[in-house]
Amino acid sequence: MRAKTLIESTVDAANKILIIDNLNLNGSLSIVGLVTTESVAIQIPRIADPAVDTDTDWTNFVYDSTTYVLNVNNNRVSLPFRGTYRIVKPASPENAFGIRFE
C-alpha cells in the first residue's frame, strides 16, 4: 500500500472520509506537522448513508473502551477494522498540520 495524504497541511478545519478495505486493513493514520492542543477525531457512521459534513451522521470511534483520536500524545493510530471512517481535523490557528494514511 502506498502512503496517501488525506488532509493537506493547513490551519483550516477539514473533514475527510477514509474507507478501510482488505487492501489497506493494516494501515495507520498519522499527523504530519505540529499539534499542541488539537485533537483529530476518528468517527464512524451512525446512519447507512452519512454526509461527510453532517456531524449528527457520525459518532466517535470507540473500541475496547478506547476512543480513537490523534493528538500531541498519540500522533499515530492503526485502525483495526474494515469500514468507513470520518477524520475530523479542527482549525489550528497556530500550526498547520495534515493527516496521512499509510
pLDDT value of residue 5: 94
Summarised one tens digit per residue, pLDDT across range 47-98 is 999 999 999 999 999 999 999 999 999 999 998 889 999 999 999 988 899 9
pTM: 0.92
The count of C-alpha atoms lying within 13 angstroms of the C-alpha of 89, restricted to the half-sphere facing its C-beta, is 29
Summarised one tens digit per residue, pLDDT across range 4-60 is 999 999 999 999 999 988 877 788 999 999 898 999 999 999 999 999 999 999 999
Domains defined for the chain, CATH in brackets? 4-101 (2.60.120)
Residue 24: C-alpha distances to residues 3, 53, 57, 81, 82 (Å):
10, 24, 24, 10, 9
